[in-house]
Amino acid sequence: MIHRGGARILAVTNRKGGTGKTTTAVNLAAELAGAGEAVLLVDLDTQGHAGIGVGVPPVPSRAGVHDLFVDPGASLAETIIPTTVDNLWLAPATTDFDGAVISRNEQLLAWQLRTHGQRFAWVVIDTPPTLDLALANGICAAQAVIVPFVPHHLAVPAVEQLATLLYRTASRNNPGLRLLGLLPVMLDRHLRLHRRVLETLALRFGSHRILRGIRSNITLAEAFEAGRPVRLFAPRSRGALDYHMLAEEVRAFWPDPRNSFGGCYENRHAR
């Protein structure tokens, strides 16, 4: 169900690597926190890169969110730690998680967030690119999804495959799931290929589902290397501006009933 007063839960997901997924999760979470609201960043990728982006490098012995899949007594609350960013907390990845689980329950994270996520205004989930239990838990827990993509020729089939997976999840396990938008990253609107890919996705999914986008900007990589969100590392850079605008789009799009996976799926297959 879309936000009615509790935490608003947003997953950033793409099964394809190299799409700016973690960069988007980190910088969007920091922008939302910058408005003075409490934000929880959940790192479901065992590489632990989301933590690095907010100044919290992985520690193998530390409790992490993947403990939920191997320990029936584990609690999300035990994993949550502060970051170097005001109003932003992290549920870090369990970097030594080997994939062995005690249950295939896809609702574990959703249950934990209902209990331990309500003190946050926003929850941003960085999902892994692999089709596994962690990804399933991330999209089952989410109320809305952002799909970052690089606008090249492989983007269209990758987004279509992901949309099918998300529609299946919405149909079976999470009927309130919404597509908040498709986010072009490393975007250069002067390139004909980029414009063509955006036009194709707009035709297939609806132009209102294409977000403003994140332009190519080396400062984003430099900020990540420094362990700081770009709004703190280089607040006047175009990367900081683009993620600020994305946060504004997220706030504006959140209650939009057009952004359902049912409508997305129907429009795509009606063509």
Model confidence pLDDT, tens digit, residues 152-209? 988 999 899 889 989 899 889 899 899 999 999 999 998 999 999 999 999 999 999 9
**pLDDT band with cut points at 50, 70 and 90 for residue 104:** confident
Assign residue 244 the CATH number of its domain: 3.40.50.300
Q: Which two tokens stand for residue 106?
A: 């896809």
Contact 219, 239 (CB under 8 A): yes
Beta strand residue intervals within 160-220, DSSP E: 178-184
SS3 state at 201: helix
Angle between helices 218-225 and 238-253 (to 10 degrees): 90
pLDDT of residue 56: 95
**pLDDT band with cut points at 50, 70 and 90 for residue 5:** low
Q: Which two tokens stand for residue 71?
A: 């320990």
pLDDT of residue 220: 97
Q: What angle do CA 255, 142, 102 make, to 5 degrees?
A: 165
The residue segments making up the domain with residue 146 are 8-269
Q: Of 39-43, 89-93, 132-136, where does mean pLDDT reach its minimum?
A: 132-136
User: Residue 213: which of 238, 190, 236, 183 has the closest Cα?
Assistant: 183
Strands 39-43 and 81-82: unpaired
pTM of the model: 0.91
In tens, the pLDDT along 45-83 reads: 999 999 999 999 998 888 999 999 999 899 999 999 999
- The one-letter amino acid code at 72 reads P
Split into its structural domains, the chain has a count of 1
Mean pLDDT of 12-26: 91
Tell me, yes or no, whether 1 lies in a domain.
no
- The one-letter amino acid code at 115 reads T
Q: Which two tokens stand for residue 147?
A: 């799909």
Which residues make Cβ contacts (< 8 Å) with residue 75, sequence separation at least 6? 112, 116
Q: Indicate whether 4 pLDDT > 70.
A: no
Question: What is the distance between the alpha carbons of residues 122 and 251, in angstroms, rounded to a whole number?
Answer: 11
Q: Indicate whether 264 pLDDT > 70.
A: no
End-to-end alpha carbon distance in the chain: 29
Neighbours of 27 (CB within 10 A): 30
Question: What is the distance between the alpha carbons of residues 153 and 197, in angstroms, rounded to a whole number?
Answer: 7
In tens, the pLDDT along 195-224 reads: 999 999 999 999 999 999 999 999 999 999
Average pLDDT of the chain?
89
Half-sphere exposure of 67 (CA within 13 A, CB side): 18
Q: Indicate whether 148 pLDDT > 50.
A: yes
pLDDT of residue 257: 46
pLDDT of residue 259: 52
Tell me, yes or no, whether 171 lies in a domain.
yes
Q: Which two tokens stand for residue 132?
A: 């596994």
Tell me, yes or no, whether 2 lies in a domain.
no
Q: Can you name the residues that pair with 89 across neighbouring β-strands?
A: 40, 82
Question: What is the distance between the alpha carbons of residues 174 and 190, in angstroms, rounded to a whole number?
Answer: 39
pLDDT of residue 194: 95
Q: Indicate whether 138 pLDDT > 70.
A: yes
Q: Give the distance from CA 203 to its chain's centroid.
A: 24
- H/E stretch holding 246 reads helix 238-253
Tell me, yes or no, whether 3 lies in a domain.
no
Question: What is the distance between the alpha carbons of residues 197 and 184, in angstroms, rounded to a whole number?
Answer: 10
